[in-house]
Amino acid sequence: MSDEEKLIAAARQAREYAHAPFSEFHVGAAVRTKSGRTFGGCNVENASYGLTICAERVAIFKAISEGEREFEAIAVVTDADDLTPPCGACRQIIWEFCGDVPVILANLKGKVERENSSKLLPRPFDSSNL
């Protein structure tokens, strides 16, 4: 199994833990660090909606909370026919914490696409703007 396939599998597994009682849209993500570790995350919805957190941010924040600071790639898995890219907030977090990494989009039917984060968030705001 390739590194990309392993990352997609980890995101798929994380999706199983999604807490999405309102949207019923389960999302899993997994981020691979330069040290070789993989961290999964799922979306966690809240009745107030605004406090909901996406799978991508959960995975990245888990890695950061474990001391990781350098990332190689992130995968996002849903059950949608059309592949689901990260929302704007997640694109910002991916850029700020991971840099220009491959973002791998996949669904449960085996469809896969790759796009670097710089294409998903052109002209990003980061520390260079401060």
The token duo for 128 is 């260079």
Does residue 56 carry a catalytic annotation? yes
Catalytic residue among 45, 56, 72, 113: 56
Distances (CA, A) of 115 to 23, 51, 73, 80, 91: 26, 28, 10, 18, 12
Count of alpha carbons within 13 angstroms of residue 51, beta-carbon side: 4
Q: Which residues are catalytic?
A: 56
